[in-house]
Amino acid sequence: MAHSHSNEHDLMDLRAKLRGKDRRITKPREEILELLGKEDHPISAKIIHEKLEGSCNLVTAYRSLKMLESMNLVKRFDFGDNTARFELICCNDKAHHHHLICNDCRTVVEIEECFDPKMESRIAQKHGFRNVTHQLEFFGLCSSCQTA
């Protein structure tokens, strides 16, 4: 699932969204978006920092990701290993998706399937919650790790 086609759009989107908020488009922020656009799976701040060697400090990566998340340009995922991972939010049909992670080798597979959204609104209504979202990830043993 390559996102590279969405780069330009995302950068425009970023510019538009930042302009209204007294915020700036900086080299690290652009590079993070560009990198995320090339990635097939969510990646951590540490990996981002490493891949952008030199052009984005680790602290800046954390701060930028938090900011991009708050602007809904990036989504945070949790694969249960004390490390947040981030993915570009793109506006096509694959926007909402989940992951299947191998408990052994940590391979990640993107899952497009999801449950009926009515379940979510039912739950929200039942408990008087609003703006309800969900985090859903699947874990198991991939075919290679079953034999090993």
Partner DNA sequence: TAATTAATGCAAAAGACTTGCATTTAAAGC
Partner DNA sequence: GCTTTAAATGCAAGTCTTTTGCATTAATTA
| Positions in the binding site for a copy of itself (CB under 8 A) | 76, 78, 80, 82, 84, 100, 102-103, 109, 111, 113, 115-116, 119-120, 122-124, 127-143, 146
Minimum distance, C-beta of residue 53 to DNA, in the bound complex (Å): 11
Cα 4 to Cα 12: distance, rounded to the nearest angstrom: 14
Closest to 99 in 3D by CA, of 111, 115, 90 = 111
The 8-class DSSP code of residue 115 comes to -
Distances (CA, A) of 143 to 61, 104, 136: 34, 11, 21
Nearer to a copy of itself, 48 or 84 (CB): 84
Cα 65 to Cα 148: distance, rounded to the nearest angstrom: 37
Position 136: which residue type?
A: L
Query: What is the token pair recorded at 29?
Result: 């922020």
Nearer to a copy of itself, 7 or 44 (CB): 44
Q: Does 62 bind DNA (CB under 7 A)?
A: yes
**Per rule CB under 7 A, count of chain residues that contact DNA:** 27
Minimum distance, C-beta of residue 37 to a copy of itself, in the bound complex (Å): 24
Q: Does 12 bind DNA (CB under 7 A)?
A: no
Residue ranges that bind DNA, judged by CB under 7 A? 18-19, 22-29, 44-46, 55-60, 62-64, 66-67, 82-84
